[in-house]
């Protein structure tokens, strides 16, 4: 018999995959339990509500994203100006890989969940918004470092990072709507042209 930690992990892993491939509402407890090969009782033991599950799934998305993309892209071993480009390369590779495997561009799991749930689940909205802010701060800090080292002209790093992040999310959405990862390949590099000047 599998131990509790294993059951917990299998439920989360199944939910993460199923929700990313379709949507929050379209994935039922039954489907998650079948994919994870666990009983409904075990599911409700760990996740009394679907909101509990969703909040835990968002954490799993973030841990995966950190391990597979963020840590490598925002490494201090790269020059600040190289970090965004590495981030884009890794994000494009991941979306292209999923597209090859499933036939679909699945887009950003956080963006998908926030467009679906933001108006009716405040806890989910706030959690995703917090992760968006974290990503934005990674971009901002790299821009600031690039300005400090003279790699970039001074600019409004806070607003520019927010604009760059919005552009990234918009391209993920457009790639999903086109079902074509080439949208990312062609247009993500333009992110580094976005500049919000300092207010005077």
Interacting residues with a second copy (CB under 8 A): 21-26, 102, 104-107, 111-112, 114-120, 125, 128-129, 132, 159, 162-163, 165-171, 173-174, 176-179, 183, 186-187, 190, 193-196
> What tokens appear for 188 in the block?
């993500």
CB 194 within 8 A of CB 163: yes
User: How near is the Cβ of 126 to a second copy at its closest, in Å?
Assistant: 9
CB 116 within 8 A of CB 24: yes
Nearer to a second copy, 116 or 145 (CB): 116
Length of the chain as a residue count: 200
Residues 6+ apart with CB under 8 A from 86: 72, 73, 78
Dihedral of the CA atoms 78, 81, 83, 87 (nearest 10)? -150
CB 136 within 8 A of CB 162: yes
Nearer to a second copy, 93 or 174 (CB): 174
Say which residue the tokens 């901002």 belong to: 140
Alpha-carbon span 89 to 83, nearest angstrom: 10
Nearer to a second copy, 29 or 159 (CB): 159
Nearer to a second copy, 33 or 106 (CB): 106
Nearer to a second copy, 8 or 16 (CB): 16
User: How near is the Cβ of 102 to a second copy at its closest, in Å?
Assistant: 8
CB 156 within 8 A of CB 143: no
């Amino acid at each position: 018999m599998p131990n509790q930690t294993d059951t917990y992990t299998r439920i989360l892993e199944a939910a993460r995959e199923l929700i990313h491939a379709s949507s929050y509402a379209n994935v039922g407890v039954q489907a998650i339990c079948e994919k994870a090969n666990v009983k409904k009782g075990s599911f409700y033991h760990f996740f009394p509500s679907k909101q509990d599950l969703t909040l835990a799934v968002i954490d799993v998305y973030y841990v995966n994203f950190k391990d597979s993309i963020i840590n490598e892209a925002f490494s201090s071993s790269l020059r600040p100006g190289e970090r965004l480009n590495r981030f884009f390369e890794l994000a494009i590779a991941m979306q292209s890989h999923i597209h090859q495997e499933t036939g679909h561009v699945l887009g950003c799991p956080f963006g998908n969940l926030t467009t679906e749930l933001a108006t009716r689940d405040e806890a989910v909205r706030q959690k995703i918004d917090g992760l968006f802010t974290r990503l934005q701060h990674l971009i901002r800090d790299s821009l600031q470092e690039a300005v400090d080292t003279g790699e970039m002209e001074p600019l409004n790093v806070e607003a520019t990072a927010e604009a760059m992040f919005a552009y990234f999310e918009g391209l993920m959405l457009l790639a999903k709507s086109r079902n074509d990862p080439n949208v990312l390949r062609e247009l993500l590099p333009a992110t580094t042209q976005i500049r919000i000047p300092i207010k005077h």
